[in-house]
Structure 1
């Protein structure tokens, strides 16, 4: 046996990097770029490996920290180094973040005008691969009664029936609703079909004393509020 074999082996270089990164996070969490925040998550799942390159590859592939967490497990495991257990850990973080935001929503009285609603909807839908139509049902104090997906469609269309939306609002005794859907293309600009659907729902809702607070369209590239565009009712 050589003398070198008896010498203590130096710690892998990434050990010091991990401690430095944790210290930077503790000092200022918001200062870390997406790939370094993702590294911190991967530290837990992959304890004995340099994960900086893997984090950067994930960001390059999917676009951002949020998009990595929102990616389907099957897509994640296409990346070398991401097995099923690591993909599951990433989805746990995504689910925890969504539930945290949803918990914050339940504490907001001014739900219809809350940035938290937008953050929640973006986390749930902005990076989905198929179009989803979601309705937030509110009581008289604008507290959340229920959050339900009314339809899931293709990459550019979701079948939604205005009377079914209002029927569900009546079943829940909701006083107001917020409509939300995503554009998987990333561009949140409303189509004419989006505007027509919104106005149809608003007309029926108004006749039954239900307020439509807004229709939010979310995508990777931002969001659009149809209330802000004055497009909730015909003639707007």
Structure 2
């Protein structure tokens, strides 16, 4: 299997507001009847062409995809320090993170209430897990993280009844360690939350991001296949 970042179904930018603040999401629709909704959460760089291309690939699988914006219109930091600062604003204000997640989910469902899976990349993985712990997102059938940040903030926990989680992790990730993976596994076991964790040998943090030194083709393809199977199981109707 070879994954291509080229758009199979070109989507469109979707402007929306949260308490008067401007945001820009991205919607990609399948050619035929949608098999369900996939909500995509961006990396710490904001919603860029990377997430848009992933949304297009999801649409090519037959699902409607909506990439939400957690930073605000035009806020797409490009250097490491700026990206860290933007991500930390939300890491340090979990209430705002949840509010923006719920607003993005509402916008994703504006054209129809479909069963959904939420997927996040890196920082977006942390946001996806934040939504999973909130218990507020009705109609969500599962959560997926690609090389996501996995630590649970103090005072938060998972509850029984949380939809299944799929954790796709790089074995050579030095930002999110195997200790973090093990800690999450213990939390989910204690809460009796269904989950699956896949670890890809030699894959560093950000292993799915094309055109970077971190990209690992084998791990990208294997994790995408696992993600595709998960969608088929959780959104089978």
Greater RCO structure (CA 8 Å; 6+ sep): 2
Same fold (TM over 0.5): no
- The structure richer in strand per residue is 2
- The structure richer in helix per residue is 1
Q: What TM-score results when the alignment is normalised by the length of structure 2?
A: 0.30
Structure of greater Rg: 1
Q: What TM-score results when the alignment is normalised by the length of structure 1?
A: 0.30
